[in-house]
Amino acid sequence: MKILFLNGPNLNLLGQRQAEIYGRDTLADIEAQVRHRAVQLGAEIEFRQSNLEGELVAWIQQAKGRFDAIVLNAAAYTHTSIALRDAIAAVGVPTIEVHLSNIHAREDFRHKSLIAPVCRGQITGFGKKSYLLALEASVDVNESK
Ligand code: DQA
pTM for this predicted structure? 0.97
Q: Give the rounded percent of residues in the chain with a pLDDT score beyond 70.
A: 100
- The residue range of the domain holding 123 is 2-143
Atom of ligand 1 nearest to the CA of 21: 11
In a 3-state reduction of DSSP, which class is residue 87?
helix
Q: Cβ(115) to ligand 1 under 6 A?
A: no
Q: What's the CA angle centered on 70, arms 116 and 120, to 5 degrees?
A: 35
Q: Cβ(103) to ligand 1 under 6 A?
A: yes
Task: State pLDDT tens for residues 54-103.
Answer: 999 999 999 999 999 999 999 999 999 999 999 999 999 999 999 999 99
Residue with the smallest CA separation from ligand 1 atom 7 is 75
Q: Which of 5, 87, 99 is nearest to 46 (CA)?
A: 5
Q: Which of 36, 99, 104, 111 is catalytic?
A: 99
Is the confidence at residue 15, as pLDDT, over 90?
A: yes
Domain count, the chain: 1
Which of 25, 97, 100, 130 has most ligand 1 atoms within 8 Å of CB, for mutation?
100
pLDDT at site 17: 87
Contact 42, 104 (CB under 8 A): no
Atom of ligand 1 nearest to the CA of 74: 13
Q: Cβ(73) to ligand 1 under 6 A?
A: yes
Q: Cβ(6) to ligand 1 under 6 A?
A: no
Task: State pLDDT tens for residues 89-119.
Answer: 999 999 999 999 999 999 999 999 999 999 9
Residue 80 CA: distances (Å) to CA of 64, 111, 116, 120, 128? 23, 11, 12, 19, 23
Ligand 1 center–CA 99 separation, angstroms: 6
What's the CATH code of the domain at 66?
Answer: 3.40.50.9100
The upper half-sphere exposure of residue 37, i.e. CA atoms within 13 Å in the direction of its Cβ, equals 19
